[in-house]
Structure 1
Amino acid sequence: MIIKNIESKIKLASFISLFSFITSILISALVSYYAFKQISLSRQSVYILDHNNTPYQANQTDITVNRALEYKSHVNLFHSLFFTLAPDEKYIEYQMQKAMYLIDESGALQYNNLREKGFFNSILSSSAVLTVQTDSIHVDAQQKYFRYYGKQTIDRRSTTVIRSIITEGFLHDLNIRTENNGHGVLITRWKTLENKDLSHVQKTNI
């Protein structure tokens, strides 16, 4: 009888030990999951201090939410830099340098072609001011493809020319954003589909 009581107590103690062990594992797993979830949530929020050192919460959003808008902004910025020029050699170099941070070698290829054809020299000699107006930008975020529609105004001393500009290319996401490429995107395989005169107005000299 005593032996049976001892065996029963041993079985009970073993059961309690096993139950406690399993329970501790479950509790540890739940605590670890909760801690991981809290860390993930905390990483989505940052706090910004104003001039009075009052904290304001700023929520972090998924990069894919606004990516299509960032693509459009990137394409618009590049075309604004590349097609907005003035009769100033240093200004042209500045614009081209800034634009080349946003595009691969296809941009440098078009720049070199224009330079070899004397396009930039003609701007200097005719004192032309070139500005561009974006009409629309079509972006396929899934295919990373874009098509740009715009108009370029070439204002010379004697004439004003308006050209239509249509270009296309692809977009490559970079792993880092820099001061010179804030969107972390690189335009690739860029080419001009259309660049033709829409109007040619002769100025009247008084």
Structure 2
Amino acid sequence: MNGQFRYLTNLETSFKMVRWMAIIAVVGSLAFALGVAYWAFAEVSASRQKVYVLDNGKSIMVALAQEQNINRPAEAKDHIKTFHRLFFTLEPDEKQVEGNIREATYLGDRSVVRLYQDLQEAGYYGQLIQGNVHQKVEIEKVEVNFSQSPYRVVTSGRQLLIRANNITIRKLVTECYLIDVARTDNNPHGFMIERFKVVQNQDIETVQRSNQTSNL
């Protein structure tokens, strides 16, 4: 009788062990499945944040969309500097002037075209070419207000008119607004300049070429 009792006890213990092993196996499988699902979800989310850009058909660069947003203020300032360089840095060459202005108009709206037309009608570009004047711009400060769209921008710097005998230095201050647009080959930063105007552009100094300082 005691032997039979021990047999039943051992059998019950074995069933309990099998049951616990089955429970552990099921829990382990569920935990593994959940871990794999979480890893897959994280990988998909990360891949959606990546933008693949074809670099001249030769290589592929990966840029994180989040990092693009972080760099947006720097892109805005570079957009403004690029525009000013194209619009205000000119050589006494009609084709160079037309080429620079054409590239500048891709970065701005109709206000940029109107300013160019006003200067052209006033004979400004003709005087540069006839006088063999090299015009150069040096940007000193770009202030962009990102608190509200369109973003107000105030740019200040110096405009240099370089002639054979002297250099005229002008104080240049401009104002405009920036809006976000689609990126293109002609507008890689994805900004558009609106309501562009020259706030200040007056002579502050004329330096003789023989006495010019090294930083001009």
- TM-score between both structures, scaled by the size of structure 1: 0.74
Q: CA deviation at 1:158?
A: 3.0
Q: Tell whether the 8 Å contact from 2:51 to 2:65 is kept in structure 1 after alignment.
A: no
Name the stretch that deviates more: 60-69 or 34-43: 34-43
Q: Tell whether the 8 Å contact from 2:87 to 2:100 is kept in structure 1 after alignment.
A: yes
CA distance in 2, matches of 1:188, 1:96: 16
CA distance in 2, matches of 1:183, 1:59: 14
- TM-score between both structures, scaled by the size of structure 2: 0.71
CA distance in 2, matches of 1:186, 1:171: 6
Q: 1:60 aligns with which of 45, 58, 64?
A: 64
In terms of Rg, which structure is larger? Answer: 2
Q: CA deviation at 1:203?
A: 4.7
Count how many residue pairs are aligned between Structure 1 and Structure 2. Answer: 169
Q: Deviations over 1:38-63 (max 9, x none)?
A: 31212334789xxxxxxx99451423
Unaligned runs of 5+ in 1: 1-26, 49-55
Q: Which residue number in structure 1 is paired with residue 76 of structure 2? A: 71
Q: Which residue number in structure 1 is paired with residue 203 of structure 2? A: 197
Percentage of identical aligned residues: 36
CA distance in 2, matches of 1:146, 1:201: 30
Q: CA deviation at 1:64?
A: 2.2
Q: Which residue number in structure 2 is paired with residue 114 of structure 1? A: 119
Q: Which residue number in structure 2 is paired with residue 95 of structure 1? A: 100
Q: Tell whether the 8 Å contact from 1:126 to 1:157 is kept in structure 2 after alignment.
A: no
Cα distance change on mapping 1:46 and 1:177 into 2, 3 Å: closer
Q: Per the alignment, in what secondary structure is the counterpart of residue 164 of structure 2? A: coil
Q: CA deviation at 1:197?
A: 0.4
Q: 1:167 aligns with which of 164, 174, 190?
A: 174
**What is the CA RMSD across the aligned residues, in angstroms?**
2.7
**Partner AA of 1:184 in structure 2:** G
CA distance in 1, matches of 2:61, 2:178: 32
Name the stretch that deviates more: 37-46 or 102-111: 37-46
Q: Which residue number in structure 2 is paired with residue 41 of structure 1? A: 46
Q: Tell whether the 8 Å contact from 2:135 to 2:160 is kept in structure 1 after alignment.
A: yes
Q: Tell whether the 8 Å contact from 2:175 to 2:196 is kept in structure 1 after alignment.
A: yes
Q: Per the alignment, in what secondary structure is the counterpart of residue 190 of structure 1? A: strand
